[in-house]
């Protein structure tokens, strides 16, 4: 089992930095239109579900963190598949996409699924001897 060492707040910052990187990188390095469109779509998706995630950096807070991390992992796996999905792209482009994918996978697998506030409510409930649902309303 992997240690969940990345707090949700830090993960949120990484999400927005990742979205910006996915938008900027192919344009800065002059990559093909196909790769640029792929990365732009991934950036918009990452930005969209990050804004809707129930964590400190979310705006609307609809999506559970576990689902957010599953989406991150799927995105990472898709980037890792770049050599097979984009066989005509230069090796350095495919390698960079695999690197981005591995980053997303590691972040998804090592991020916590509860915010600090959610963990605190859980611990207060344990301290009071109440179930978590009751402790959150205390």
Residue 3: per-residue pLDDT: 85
Please tell me the pTM assigned to this model. Answer: 0.85
**What are the pLDDT digits (tens) for 73-95?**
999 999 999 999 999 999 999 99
Residue 106 buriedness (CB in 10 A; 0-12 / 13-18 / 19+):
middle
Average pLDDT over residues 23-40: 98
**What are the pLDDT digits (tens) for 99-131?**
999 999 999 999 999 998 887 766 555 555 555
- Going from the C-alpha of 65 to that of each of 43, 56, 71, 85, 132, the distances in angstroms are 18, 11, 10, 28, 18
Residue 73: per-residue pLDDT: 98
Q: Where are the domains of the chain?
A: 8-135
- How is the chain split among helix, strand and coil, in percent rounded to 5? 70, 5, 25
> Percentage of the chain surpassing pLDDT 70?
86
Rounded distance between C-alpha atoms, residue 127 and residue 130, angstroms: 8
């Amino acid at each position: 089992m992997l240690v969940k060492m990345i707090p949700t707040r830090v993960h949120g910052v990484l999400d927005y930095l990742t979205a910006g990187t996915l938008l900027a990188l192919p344009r800065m390095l002059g990559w093909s239109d196909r790769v640029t469109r792929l990365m732009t779509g991934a950036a918009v998706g990452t930005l969209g579900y990050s804004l809707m995630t129930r964590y400190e950096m979310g705006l609307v807070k609809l999506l559970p963190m576990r689902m957010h991390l599953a989406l991150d992992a799927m995105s990472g796996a898709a980037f890792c598949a770049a050599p097979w999905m984009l066989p005509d792209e230069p090796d350095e482009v495919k390698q960079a996409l695999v690197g981005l994918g591995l980053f997303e996978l590691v972040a998804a697998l090592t991020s916590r699924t509860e915010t600090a506030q959610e963990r605190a409510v859980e611990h207060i409930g344990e301290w009071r001897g109440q179930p978590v649902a009751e402790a959150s309303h205390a």
